[in-house]
Amino acid sequence: MEALADWVIVSKKSNKLKQPLFTVIAYNGNGQRLSGEAIRRLVSGLCKQAGITKQMSPHRIRHSSITTVLDKNNGNYRATQRFSRHAKPDTVMKYDDNRQKLQKAMSDIIADLV
């Protein structure tokens, strides 16, 4: 994380922040931005390597982390909104509705894996 924070600081100063942070690592990648599908495959593969048998995606991890934050801070919407960077509190409220409709079990499983 420290290296990423340093990169952001340097990039802001040198006007390179618009360049991709993560690029294709291949002989013909030419520094191209990773596609959404490539990121999904990376996340899925890393989760399998970690022993997570449930099908995972970046959005599922994000959803689970937001639900877990709601659990851990007793449903504090404002804190969770800051964490999730959602523009509208209504979006966070949808996550809380899901959490209260037995979605909690899935996020507990994910939280226990971390």
Distance CA 55, CA 82 (A): 27
pLDDT along the chain (114 residues), means of 10: 74 65 68 82 91 89 89 90 91 80 70 78
DSSP line for 45-80: HHHHHTT--S---HHHHHHHHHHHHHHHTTT-HHHH
pLDDT at 105: 73
Q: Is the pTM of this model over 0.75?
A: no
